[in-house]
Structure 1
Amino acid sequence: MTFSILAAAKTATPKTAPAPADANNPLDDLRYWWDSSVAWVESHWLQIGIAIGVGLIIYFLLSMIRTFALKRAQSAPGQFTLTDIVGRVIHKTKSLVLAIISIRLVAGYAQPPALILHLIQFVFTIAVVMQVAIWAREIVLGLIQRRAAEGHNETLSNAMGIIRLLISVALFAVAAIVILDNMGVNVTGLVAGLGIGGIAIGLAAQGIFSDLFASLSIIFDRPFRVGETIKYDTSIATVERIGLKSTHLRSINGELLVISNTNLLSKEITNYANLHRRRVQFAIGVVYQTTPDMLRALPALLKTQVEAEKHEFIRSSFIGFGASSLDFELVADIHSDDYNEVIAARTEIGIRLFEEMTRLGYDFAYPTQTTFTAAPDGTMILPYAESVTMKTPRPAKS
């Protein structure tokens, strides 16, 4: 690398420098460029002094800006806020990088030999690329930790070690490729090799990475959280733990369900948490002997009883002729996040309906079978309804 820079810099050597004795001899090249540098210092000492002074001023200004910004960021309240992330990024700004930036800004004023200018440019490129990679890592990790702090997610906090490793490897691999490319190295083969290696590793650990990214999807997308009750496939359970590979669910019957994160997200999930209202339905059947006036009054009666319990009435209507009943439907909404309160409210509504309908003379239907008795000549015989004629016999229950 040094000799390539030497070769590239020969054409821009100051005229006062002596010519090399043997251009093909590395030692002679080094001696030649040393003499050139000495000659440059002797002929440009004033410009060099001014450049050093200006560079120091720039360095101290950059340091003061960094210190001021860092104090402002650290004085802001709260952890893992955007201001805190900015403070962490500023804190990771190296003093050496500030010095190299200062040198690069004033290097052209002193008109250095091409060798020195190439070396400054080379070191500047390495320093800036590595510093940008460090900044990017801190920003990404800060945002992830901020997300974890918002949800108080233990899984993400435990996974920060492997996440930090993966992010660091990815960012610094990109930084290394950028540096090599600026050095003139052909990185096409390296990029292709890294791509093939990444595919091989991905295929070998496909199941692990699939569950890992599914876990991160659960953490960031938050379809459910620890402590919430969900319906997965045909099971209703409470989330106990979200791991990197699997999620633990406690079913309503007490069993522990351990499901891989990939399988968990591959099916429809119903989350029962944070429901501001729950809908309850009642199917009410009355006997066929109920009078039409009582049937017409029933929907309003049902509405009155629901509203008396301070719940939201949705609808009540006649829905059909059953085998043993005239069927009505009652739909109401109970505004509560607590499922136990919903169950208690539904019970209270049902008891109140039964009490009021019984008081008003409604008879609830139940499965029955009616038979009619006839004489040999086909006429109906007792028992039959006393209020009707022989043509409308009273059905007898058996």
Structure 2
Amino acid sequence: MISQITALTRIPKEYVASVLLFVLLLIILRTSKNFIVQLLKKFAKKTTNEIDDMIVDAIERIPWFFYITLSVGIATKPLALPLWVDKGINYAITILIVFYAVRFVNNMISFFAEKQVAKQSESDKGEDTTFISIIGTITKIVVWVLAAIFLLDNFGIKVTPLIAGLGIGGIAVAFAFQNILEDLFSSFTIYFDKPFKHGDYIVIGSDSGTVEHIGLKTTRIRTLQGQELIVSNRELTSIRINNYKRMQKRRVVFNFGVVYDTPTEKLKKINKIVEKIISNNKNLELDRVHFKELGDFSLNFEVVYYINTREYKAYMDAQQEINFALKEEFEKEGIEFAYPTQSIILEK
């Protein structure tokens, strides 16, 4: 027993001081953590945003191992430890700090990505939010890569040749996957520029349909005939697109003809008849009515009006009502619609 006490008294004072400092730091860190968490929780209850709740959660999730390692690192600084031990402790502290910092940043990225998805879902229920999740994932990967480069640089590893090698390899990969990368970047152009979005009715060349999905490489369109049309994003960003969903109101032009036997007095009534028919529909706005031309077999009129909707079915319903009303009014006035005819003149 006496020999053990004698052995303990031979322990250098700096080691005893380091142990006491380690215990003291551990107590302080633990107490400070509890105090800060309780303080932040009280503050978080008074606010409506969720960022402070996320900060509290991030602090609470830091385990005991982190505080122990940090306390060991600080407490052993005054000691003359072997170089490999000192480096090992410093590396462990650096790795832990970077790890929890990256995890906090990634949680922030996930939080803002989820908020953006919820915001878009509320404002436009049909919009595809896949890109937000993809951008969030890519951003997280970039953060981890930057953290890895930072750690390697702190460990004394030269990262410049590594980055240069990755750059050369990236150029080779870019050439090998040129078309895929073009589609990928085109998809980001579509997302940020928004020439169309999920649910829009678009016309591209001779094809048309409703956008059902915007992916990383292709966009899928459901045509009026029912089949699925798959178009590369690269093609969609290099051609003209007519987006009928963005149309505020539809401009309609239609023509009709009456027979040449129609008296001039009745011809002059046709403008008033058309104006009356269109004015009776509150969704229609008349632009003009004109006796346009003397056709081969008919006296032709041209009518231009606007309908306050972009829906094709509503437009066809309105045009049908106009056609019925014209037929009815012309029957009352004794005006006949023209149809293709030929007159044969016989000479003796």
TM-score, scaled to structure 1: 0.63
1:352 corresponds to which residue? 325
2:131·2:191 contact (CA, 8 Å) conserved in 1? no
1:270 corresponds to which residue? 242
CA distance in 2 between counterparts of 1:219 and 1:293 reads 59
The Cα of 1:304 is off from its aligned counterpart by 1.2
Q: 1:176 to 1:255 in 2, by over 3 A?
A: closer
1:129 corresponds to which residue? 98
2:204·2:239 contact (CA, 8 Å) conserved in 1? yes
Q: Quick one: which of 310, 314, 327 aligns to 2:282?
A: 310
Q: 1:369 to 1:263 in 2, by over 3 A?
A: same
1:245·1:260 contact (CA, 8 Å) conserved in 2? yes
Q: 1:239 to 1:303 in 2, by over 3 A?
A: same
Q: 1:196 to 1:144 in 2, by over 3 A?
A: farther
> Which one is further off, 358-367 or 144-153?
144-153
2:262·2:336 contact (CA, 8 Å) conserved in 1? yes
The Cα of 1:329 is off from its aligned counterpart by 2.1
Asked if residue 254 in structure 1 is aligned to residue 221 in structure 2, the reply is no
SS for the counterpart of 1:268 is coil
Q: 1:62 to 1:178 in 2, by over 3 A?
A: farther
Question: Where do 5+ consecutive residues of structure 1 fail to align?
Answer: 1-36, 77-81, 376-398
Q: 1:311 to 1:236 in 2, by over 3 A?
A: same
1:246·1:259 contact (CA, 8 Å) conserved in 2? yes
1:178 corresponds to which residue? 150
Please, what is the CA RMSD of the aligned residues? 4.6
2:198·2:212 contact (CA, 8 Å) conserved in 1? yes
The Cα of 1:155 is off from its aligned counterpart by 7.2
SS for the counterpart of 1:131 is helix
CA distance in 2 between counterparts of 1:290 and 1:374 reads 27
Q: Quick one: which of 192, 206, 209 aligns to 1:237?
A: 209
1:191 corresponds to which residue? 163
Q: Quick one: which of 315, 319, 337 aligns to 1:364?
A: 337
Asked if residue 204 in structure 1 is aligned to residue 176 in structure 2, the reply is yes
CA distance in 1 between counterparts of 2:193 and 2:115 reads 14
CA distance in 1 between counterparts of 2:102 and 2:210 reads 41
Identity within the alignment, %: 29
The Cα of 1:305 is off from its aligned counterpart by 0.7
2:304 corresponds to which residue? 331
| Matching of residues 153-168 of structure 1 within 5 Å | 166-168=138-140
1:198-244: CA deviation from partner (whole Å, max 9, x where unpaired): 33333333333444454455566655455543222211223344444
Q: Quick one: which of 30, 34, 39 aligns to 1:60?
A: 34
1:22 corresponds to which residue? none
2:62 corresponds to which residue? 95
Q: Quick one: which of 279, 303, 308 aligns to 2:251?
A: 279
The Cα of 1:184 is off from its aligned counterpart by 4.1
> Which one is further off, 243-252 or 208-217?
208-217
In terms of Rg, which structure is larger?
A: 1
Equivalent position amino acid for 1:95 in 2: I
Equivalent position amino acid for 1:140 in 2: I
1:250·1:257 contact (CA, 8 Å) conserved in 2? yes
1:70·1:87 contact (CA, 8 Å) conserved in 2? no
Question: How many aligned positions are there?
Answer: 328
Q: 1:137 to 1:195 in 2, by over 3 A?
A: farther
CA distance in 2 between counterparts of 1:322 and 1:107 reads 99
> Which one is further off, 338-347 or 317-326?
317-326
Equivalent position amino acid for 1:134 in 2: R
> Which one is further off, 347-356 or 245-254?
245-254
Equivalent position amino acid for 1:59 in 2: K
The Cα of 1:312 is off from its aligned counterpart by 2.4
The Cα of 1:174 is off from its aligned counterpart by 0.6
The Cα of 1:257 is off from its aligned counterpart by 2.1
Q: 1:242 to 1:50 in 2, by over 3 A?
A: closer
CA distance in 2 between counterparts of 1:362 and 1:212 reads 61
1:52-74: CA deviation from partner (whole Å, max 9, x where unpaired): 554343233344356x289859x
Q: 1:260 to 1:58 in 2, by over 3 A?
A: same
1:79 corresponds to which residue? none
1:154-176: CA deviation from partner (whole Å, max 9, x where unpaired): 9766995x777644432211101
TM-score, scaled to structure 2: 0.70
2:292·2:302 contact (CA, 8 Å) conserved in 1? no
2:26·2:67 contact (CA, 8 Å) conserved in 1? no
SS for the counterpart of 2:245 is coil
The Cα of 1:192 is off from its aligned counterpart by 1.5
1:230·1:269 contact (CA, 8 Å) conserved in 2? yes
CA distance in 2 between counterparts of 1:120 and 1:58 reads 23
1:311·1:332 contact (CA, 8 Å) conserved in 2? no
Higher RCO (Cα < 8 Å, 6 or more apart): 2
